[in-house]
Structure 1
Amino acid sequence: INYLEKIQLPTLPSLFGALLAGVDYVLMGAGIPRAIPGILESLVSWQEARMRITVTGATAEDDFFVSFDPKCFFRSPNLQSSRLPLKAPRFLAVISSVALAKTLARKSTGTGGVHGFVIEHHSAGGHNAPPRGPLKLNDRGQPIYSEKDHVNLTEIRAIGLPFWLAGSYGSPDMLASALAEGARGIQVGTPFAFCRESGFEESIKRKVIDMVRFDKVEVNTDCRASSSGFPFKILELDDSLSGEEEYSNRRRICDLGYLREAYKRDDCSVGFRCPGEPEPLYQIKNGEADNTSGRKCLCNALLASVGLPQVQVFGESQYIEMPLVTAGESIREIARFIEPGKSDYSARAVVDVILSSDRHEMSSDD
């Protein structure tokens, strides 16, 4: 299971749920997840876990945290007495810099600490790490990455922990390259996102595959779209929030709140705000008006992408939330997984092609 450190409030109960399900690996990126190994150890032992949360405006004297105690959650005497034995998963941090890898290797909590790293290149889909140094944009408004953003794998190897490479590694050649660099393997996202078994709406998958086959697909890195503040990959697609008209026609609302920011109110309590919510409401919560420009509601849009759009009712009118599709820069390469005469492909085809230099070695009954 893969988490964003930025989304903090549901982390503890979600981790415990994953443990109950027998999760083998827990991954987390978009932040500095050094507390997670210790939290996992507590939850595996059915002990209370605490996690400090990031609160904008907090001072050194403040101590804002969330807690979760499995013993209090399961109040049934039978469950409390049985204490189902839980397996301790391996924890991998998703990183984009050597400095963060070294910090996590030295300072992660728990007796076992971090067990390894997924090193993600900025060509990957979803959220990306911002470029190092002052932000510079190209003529299309996309962030410019440089050699400073390339992770030195010699230094990573010197840490002595296993690592996997991610971001445009979904091909036989890139897998071979990763293994040659000492990686245990690769993390692959985009090829699986558009396969037959994925949760994307079928109409979206068909559109994207057709765009790939006719070489009309385009992915942009948007620095403003995500309320998290991280750059976010967006695939340009008709009838989605990637279009300026569709974005302008959407009435702002923040009713899911997964990417909300915790902030310290004037009375020292904690409030929540989102730069994707209505601008006056955000400003009432001491948010800067400039921070709302270009923000898109990823929470609603990504749910719409998997066929769960909310219907917003504004007086006499209704608005069905539109999707937003994310993909890595290697999206064009998914054509390699499609058999001649077919219009889609399976997850098994992705695995078979990546593990074989000869795509004809795939089984015909995939």
Structure 2
Amino acid sequence: MSPTTLPRVIQGGMGVAVSSWHLARTVASAGGLGVVSGTGLDIVLARRLQDGDPDGDVRRALAAFPVPEIADEILERYFVEGGKAPEAPYLPTSRPSLSPSVRADRLIVAANFVEVWLAREGHTGTVGINYLEKIQMTTPASAYGAMLAGVDAVLMGAGIPAHIPAMLTTLAQHGTTALPVDVADAGDEKFVIAFDPVATLGVTLAPLARPTFLAIVSSHVLAAYLARDEVTRPDGFVIEAPTAGGHNAPPRGKLVVDDLGQPVYGPRDEANLTAMVDLGLPFWLAGSFGTPERLREALELGAAGIQVGTLFALSLDSGFRDDLRDALLKSIADDTLVVRTDALASPTGFPFKVVQMEGTLSDTALHHARTTVCDLGHLRQPFRKADGDIDYRCASEPAAIFVRKGGEAGATDGRVCLCNALCASVGLPQVRKGGEPELPLITLGDDLVGARVLLASHPGGWTADTAVRWLQGEPA
């Protein structure tokens, strides 16, 4: 698909399964680019199956997977007829590593296939998938699974996605990829995550369509760097301002925080849109662009459209637990919703926007009461030990373990286990000893203008279809 034919409205790829297949399918059916979140989909698939897949959606998608034997292996391992007992823990999935097992890669491939296949089912709209550059060790297998399902676009931020265009081209031909991975304490030694589609699936399939690639960046400087070479050049950009939800790019220059500990952004953090136009590649604007007026403004500034997250995260079609969505909408109606940019919460080192809400890990007391554990590991960092072996550490794991692995003392202060908390936000919390489920953490953007408009005309909540049509000029 040509990037110039992508819709004007792109729905953001939010959290772990907040941008679920159901949300993306609804947006795509309404004429937007529906985007599923590609983060942790192996966990999501395994847990949905253990919950009994009550509507049969996962099993229907797995029935379409091109290698039935792999689908059968996954069902045999994870599917629980009628669902597991509420107090029972979920079976573990493999933590990402530089040497994944074939079974781990197969689960990742199938999970991405399932999410995209369901998002594309029953309409002719466009569907994309969103990844984080910081989560490098699962990227090739994830993208390949999405491509097997015919994904139209891949979007990636939270880093410098210079190697993704070439990777997508190689995967379309089922070629073996070797994606560079950042390994701490490695000196000049280079590391890659290797992925061989043919060896993983055990079959050779017909060539795939290469999806459009949109790099999510915060500055024209990074955009120009990526665009200067054909090998690294994306098909387009999403220019994300620091008011967007989820992970934000750190401010340029020395980090300065306000009285609440939030990073302070300034003029240096604003993208030069004239420079973006001069690059000659289409771009979409994100962060406080979630209204019809701002869509028109974006088009006037030379953008191809906008990316909107919060408006869709709050919609009735997102993956948020119903009780959390209801609480969010109530706090917006009461004008009591507070979103803070937390410079410490994410173990990635990127600032992360957090909704302040009772009963979630934004509550300091609840955060400190949680038993620290890193059992999902999607945000952990590989590092080279003194003996040359590779190990992994995460700033959200127990402090003593992190320091013993060579992590800096104090770097764990204020960190939140986003892997477990974001799974809990969509109703897939791990259950700990004693039957206690993991608590959620909610992320939204700063801009609530559009949400307040839609809430005024839809006090019971709005659908993603309504949001797309309103953004494109139809009455709310």
Give 2:150's match in structure 1, choosing from 19, 22, 26: 22
Question: Using the alignment, how far apart are the partners of 1:234 and 1:191 within structure 2?
Answer: 16
> Displacement of 1:318 after TM fit?
4.6
Could you say which residue in structure 2 is the equivalent of 1:45? Answer: 173
Residue 165 of structure 2 aligns to a residue in which SS? helix
Question: Using the alignment, how far apart are the partners of 1:252 and 1:57 within structure 2?
Answer: 25
Could you say which residue in structure 2 is the equivalent of 1:74? Answer: 201
Residue 150 of structure 2 aligns to a residue in which SS? coil
Give 2:215's match in structure 1, choosing from 84, 93, 97: 93
> Displacement of 1:106 after TM fit?
1.5
For 1:157-194, what per-residue CA distance to the aligned partner results, in whole angstroms no more than 9, with x for missing partners? 11111100001111011101100000001001111001
CA contact (8 A) 1:132 1:148 kept: yes
Whether 2:264 is the aligned partner of 1:136: answer no
Task: Specify whether residues 160 and 340 from structure 1 end up closer, same or farther in structure 2 by C-alpha distance, changes over 3 A only.
Answer: closer
One-letter amino acid of the counterpart of residue 343, structure 1: G
Give 1:191's match in structure 2, choosing from 298, 302, 311: 311
CA contact (8 A) 2:346 2:352 kept: yes
One-letter amino acid of the counterpart of residue 146, structure 1: G
One-letter amino acid of the counterpart of residue 423, structure 2: L
For 1:175-228, what per-residue CA distance to the aligned partner results, in whole angstroms no more than 9, with x for missing partners? 011000000010011110011111000000000000001101010000000000
Could you say which residue in structure 1 is the equivalent of 2:130? Answer: 2
Question: Using the alignment, how far apart are the partners of 1:127 and 1:231 within structure 2?
Answer: 6
For 1:124-145, what per-residue CA distance to the aligned partner results, in whole angstroms no more than 9, with x for missing partners? 0000001111111111111110
1:172-187 equivalences under 5 Å are 172-187=292-307
Residue 410 of structure 2 aligns to a residue in which SS? helix
Question: Using the alignment, how far apart are the partners of 2:459 and 2:291 within structure 1?
Answer: 20
Give 1:328's match in structure 2, choosing from 400, 424, 445: 445
One-letter amino acid of the counterpart of residue 63, structure 1: K
CA contact (8 A) 1:37 1:109 kept: yes
Question: Using the alignment, how far apart are the partners of 1:37 and 1:90 within structure 2?
Answer: 9
Question: Using the alignment, how far apart are the partners of 1:331 and 1:238 within structure 2?
Answer: 20
- Percent identical pairs in the alignment equals 44
> Displacement of 1:326 after TM fit?
0.1
CA contact (8 A) 2:291 2:449 kept: no
Could you say which residue in structure 2 is the equivalent of 1:309? Answer: 429
CA contact (8 A) 1:136 1:144 kept: yes
Task: Specify whether residues 198 and 240 from structure 1 end up closer, same or farther in structure 2 by C-alpha distance, changes over 3 A only.
Answer: same
1:142-161 equivalences under 5 Å are 142-161=262-281
One-letter amino acid of the counterpart of residue 68, structure 1: F
CA RMSD of aligned residues (A): 1.3
Whether 2:350 is the aligned partner of 1:230: answer yes
For 1:266-324, what per-residue CA distance to the aligned partner results, in whole angstroms no more than 9, with x for missing partners? 111211000111111111101112100000011000000000011122xxx45321000
Task: Specify whether residues 332 and 209 from structure 1 end up closer, same or farther in structure 2 by C-alpha distance, changes over 3 A only.
Answer: farther
Question: Using the alignment, how far apart are the partners of 1:268 and 1:107 within structure 2?
Answer: 34
Task: Specify whether residues 318 and 278 from structure 1 end up closer, same or farther in structure 2 by C-alpha distance, changes over 3 A only.
Answer: farther
When the two structures are superposed, what TM-score results if normalisation uses the length of structure 1? 0.92
Question: Using the alignment, how far apart are the partners of 1:137 and 1:73 within structure 2?
Answer: 46
CA contact (8 A) 1:26 1:89 kept: yes
The runs of at least 4 aligned residues of structure 1 exceeding 6 Å deviation read none
> Displacement of 1:335 after TM fit?
2.3
CA contact (8 A) 2:314 2:325 kept: yes
Could you say which residue in structure 1 is the equivalent of 2:103? Answer: none
One-letter amino acid of the counterpart of residue 71, structure 1: V
CA contact (8 A) 1:37 1:114 kept: yes
Could you say which residue in structure 1 is the equivalent of 2:414? Answer: 294
> Displacement of 1:55 after TM fit?
0.4
Question: Using the alignment, how far apart are the partners of 1:201 and 1:132 within structure 2?
Answer: 35
Could you say which residue in structure 1 is the equivalent of 2:461? Answer: 344
Could you say which residue in structure 2 is the equivalent of 1:252? Answer: 372
One-letter amino acid of the counterpart of residue 346, structure 1: T
> Displacement of 1:338 after TM fit?
3.0
Task: Specify whether residues 318 and 283 from structure 1 end up closer, same or farther in structure 2 by C-alpha distance, changes over 3 A only.
Answer: farther
For 1:239-275, what per-residue CA distance to the aligned partner results, in whole angstroms no more than 9, with x for missing partners? 0001111111111110001110111111112110001
Could you say which residue in structure 2 is the equivalent of 1:205? Answer: 325
Could you say which residue in structure 2 is the equivalent of 1:104? Answer: 226
Question: Using the alignment, how far apart are the partners of 2:330 and 2:316 within structure 1?
Answer: 14
CA contact (8 A) 2:317 2:464 kept: yes
Q: Which runs of 5 or more structure 1 residues have no equivalent in the other structure? A: none
Whether 2:349 is the aligned partner of 1:221: answer no
Could you say which residue in structure 1 is the equivalent of 2:240? Answer: 120
Question: Using the alignment, how far apart are the partners of 1:310 and 1:331 within structure 2?
Answer: 31
Question: Using the alignment, how far apart are the partners of 2:215 and 2:336 within structure 1?
Answer: 35
When the two structures are superposed, what TM-score results if normalisation uses the length of structure 2? 0.71
> Displacement of 1:6 after TM fit?
0.3
> Displacement of 1:74 after TM fit?
2.0
